[in-house]
Amino acid sequence: MAHFEPYPPGALVGIKTFAKLPPRQWAQAYQRLIADIRHAGQHHLHQLDVASSWRGCIDRVVLRGAYADLGLTVGHGAAAVWLDRRINAAHRSRADWGSFPAEALAWFDLAKPRFVAMLREIGCRPYHLKTALAA
């Protein structure tokens, strides 16, 4: 698999490769992966709601909760499915990001094994499971 790291820094990440598919099937596989993320994500992390937004130009947010975004970044025949703290301006104005709230850190501790289970359900390989959330 190609070296692939364009995901939000500090995020929990799983990788799904499309490299075995012909490139003409990648768009369909991408749409199927979004549907799988939404379905499995709401099952395993039921606090997250369907969202449709972007972080910059390449990170797509597909589910959002009080503390986290669950999203997808694609490139080089692979997809990074990630869980990271929310960074959107409306949420940031209500939060003290200098000291990430204790309840948010506790939520991420509980969410990590559920996120890993979700990754496995949708056919992703856990890739980066160390967070920098407290930093």
Q: Note the pLDDT tens digit of each residue in 75-127.
A: 888 899 999 988 765 555 555 555 567 788 888 889 999 999 999 999 999 98
Determine the length of the chain: 135
- The pair of three-digit structure tokens given for residue 130, joined into one six-digit string: 């160390």
Q: Are 84 and 108 in contact (CB under 8 A)?
A: no
Burial class (CB in 10 A: 0-12, 13-18, 19+), 24: exposed
Q: Where are the alpha helices (DSSP H) in 1-135?
A: 26-44, 89-92, 102-121
pLDDT score of 132 more than 80: no
pLDDT score of 50 more than 90: yes
Compute the CA torsion angle 57, 129, 40, 5 (nearest 10 deg). 30
Quickly count: other Cβ atoms within 10 Å of residue 128's Cβ: 16
The separation between CA 74 and the C-alpha centre of its own chain, rounded to angstroms, equals: 11
For the chain, give the mean pLDDT: 82
pTM of the model: 0.83
